[in-house]
Each structure stands twice: as structure tokens, then as C-alpha cells.
């Protein structure tokens, strides 16, 4: 079942540690996410923002402990590595992965049935029209390992194009998705990203205040803990 306007995800007493460390990188006493909230995640470098998004994406398993509880749509789950959940979100990591495949295949990774017209539109929304038109074989150009090189900012925009192509995925997990872009490119793409937030649960890690202003809820992460949360005006 897809994420809806009244779906809830709650985490209580959840801890995550990386394999090479016994200290928890993140401890969540209580976090409740609901419906189409727009949640900004802020905090200094190393505070745990990416760890939180990795946990929510099911890429990191929480440490099992007896007090831990995660519920998704009212159902208790051990952790979020559930196929059904992973089909509901678009995750844009800080450094997106580019597959060794054509540009079109990279953009359509989560929507293999997408038409060429839809792919071109998604690339345009991500500010990549000039980029793809200049590639030797256009949309059919091989990129990724061993193919045509793409910069960090181009990789981020390819990841954003994936998100534009699958608006039916109602959860957006965005980890500083514009951090590698110059401010002008960022502002251009922002015009396409903000409308995508409507009818989506948004979790958006950022260091930039202009993104926080688009959010209706903010989590402040410090030293692996959510130290404050509330509406931007409360904080």
C-alpha cells in the first residue's frame, strides 16, 4: 500500500551503529512522521543526518534492543528493509550512484517503462537538457564506470531526474540533493523540485536556509541525536 495523506511512520528507542564502531551513530528516542509533512533535517557535518536518512531508507538496520519499536502504517516492523516500503520512496544520497548504463536507463532506473518523451522532460526539469544534447549518443550514451564521465553535480541532477519521473512514489528522502551545484543551477532546479513536494512526505537534509524555509517541520540533529524538533517558527 502506498504512503497516503494519513499514513504514519513512528520510531521509538531506535539506535544505529556502523559496523566498525560500537558507539551508536544515531539514537532516536521518538520520531513520528505523518502524511505529507515536509521535514527539514539540519545539523553540523557529522551530526547524523545521512545516517537518519539511511535508516529511514532501510539501508541501515537498527541495533536490536527490547525497547525498540518501529511502526509503519500501524504495523510493527523490525526495520525498514521491506520491498514494499522501498518501492514507495525516492532516495537521493549525498553522492548518487550512476549505473554503467545509458543515460536514459539511468534516469528510468525506477521506471523502466518510461517513454523517451517522459525521460526528456525529467532531464529538462533537472536542468540537464544541454548536457544530454551534447553527449555523443544523446540519451543512448553510456555513462558511469567506464562510460562518459559525469561530474558530482551532474550525478545529483540525474538522481533528481529519477525523482521527477516517479512522482507516484510518495516519500522523498533527499540528502543535500543540490550540494554539488552552483547557486544559479540550484535556484533553477529548485523551481522544479518545490512543486514535487506537494502530496509527498519529504525528508530533506540540508545546510542551506532557503530550503528550510520550504519545510513545515524541522529536525535538529546533533551528535547522533535529534535534539530539537518542531515547526520552523517554534525553533
Binding site for ligand ATP (CB under 6 A): 18, 20-21, 25, 43, 45-51, 94
Q: How many residues does the chain have?
A: 235
Q: Which is nearer to ligand ATP, 50 or 106 (CB)?
A: 50
Decide which of ligand ATP, Mg ion, none touches 47; Cβ closer than 5 to 8 Å per partner kind. ligand ATP
CB of 179 to Mg ion, least distance (A): 9
CA-based nearest residue to 163, from 88, 219, 94, 218: 88
| Residue linked to cell 533537472 | 126
Give residue 58's region: left, alpha or beta (phi > 0; psi -120 to 50): left
Decide which of ligand ATP, Mg ion, none touches 18; Cβ closer than 5 to 8 Å per partner kind. ligand ATP
Q: Which is nearer to Mg ion, 49 or 162 (CB)?
A: 49
Query: Which stretch, 44-52, 115-123, 160-168, 208-216, contacts Mg ion (CB under 5 A)?
Result: 44-52
Query: Which stretch, 47-55, 76-84, 85-93, 185-193, contacts Mg ion (CB under 5 A)?
Result: 47-55
Q: Fill in the DSSP letter of residue 148.
A: B
Q: Which is nearer to ligand ATP, 1 or 20 (CB)?
A: 20
Q: Which is nearer to ligand ATP, 21 or 75 (CB)?
A: 21
Residues 213 and 158: their CA atoms lie apart, in Å, by 25
CB of 93 to ligand ATP, least distance (A): 10
Decide which of ligand ATP, Mg ion, none touches 7; Cβ closer than 5 to 8 Å per partner kind. none
CA-based nearest residue to 207, from 173, 178, 171: 178
CB of 18 to ligand ATP, least distance (A): 3
Q: Residue with the closest Cβ to Mg ion?
A: 50
Q: Which is nearer to Mg ion, 47 or 102 (CB)?
A: 47
CB neighbour burial string for 154-168, b if at least 16 within 10 angstroms, e if fewer? bbbbbbbbbbbbbee
Cα separations in angstroms, 25 against 11, 52, 77, 116, 194: 16, 9, 21, 42, 30
50 binding Mg ion? (CB under 5 A): yes
Cα separations in angstroms, 24 against 27, 63, 104, 134, 224: 7, 9, 39, 46, 7
Q: Which is nearer to Mg ion, 104 or 177 (CB)?
A: 177
Contacts with Mg ion, residue ranges (CB under 5 A): 49-50
Amino acid at each position: 500500500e502506498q504512503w497516503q495523506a494519513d499514513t504514519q511512520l513512528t520510531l521509538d528507542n531506535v539506535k544505529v551503529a556502523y559496523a566498525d564502531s560500537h558507539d551508536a551513530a544515531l539514537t532516536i528516542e521518538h520520531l513520528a512522521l505523518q502524511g505529507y509533512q515536509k521535514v527539514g533535517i539540519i545539523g553540523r557535518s557529522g551530526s547524523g543526518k545521512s545516517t537518519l536518512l539511511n535508516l529511514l531508507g532501510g539501508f541501515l538496520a537498527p541495533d536490536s534492543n527490547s525497547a525498540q519499536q518501529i511502526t509503519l502504517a500501524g504495523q510493527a516492523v523490525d526495520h525498514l528493509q521491506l520491498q514494499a516500503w522501498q518501492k514507495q520512496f525516492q532516495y537521493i544520497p549525498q553522492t548518487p550512484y550512476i549505473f554503467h548504463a545509458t543515460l536514459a536507463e539511468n534516469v528510468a532506473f525506477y521506471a523502466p517503462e518510461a517513454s523517451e518523451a517522459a525521460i526528456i522532460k525529467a532531464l529538462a526539469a533537472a536542468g540537464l537538457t544541454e548536457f544530454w544534447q551534447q553527449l555523443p549518443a544523446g540519451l543512448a550514451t553510456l555513462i558511469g564506470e567506464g562510460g562518459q564521465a559525469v561530474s558530482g553535480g551532474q550525478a545529483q541532477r540525474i538522481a533528481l531526474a529519477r525523482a521527477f519521473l516517479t512522482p507516484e512514489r510518495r516519500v522523498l528522502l533527499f540528502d543535500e540533493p543540490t550540494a554539488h551545484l552552483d547557486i544559479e543551477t540550484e535556484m533553477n532546479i529548485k523551481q522544479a523540485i518545490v512543486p514535487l513536494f506537494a502530496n509527498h512526505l519529504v525528508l530533506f537534509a540540508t545546510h542551506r536556509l532557503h530550503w528550510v524555509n520550504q519545510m513545515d517541520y524541522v529536525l535538529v540533529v546533533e551528535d547522533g541525536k535529534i535534539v530539537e524538533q518542531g515547526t520552523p517558527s517554534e525553533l
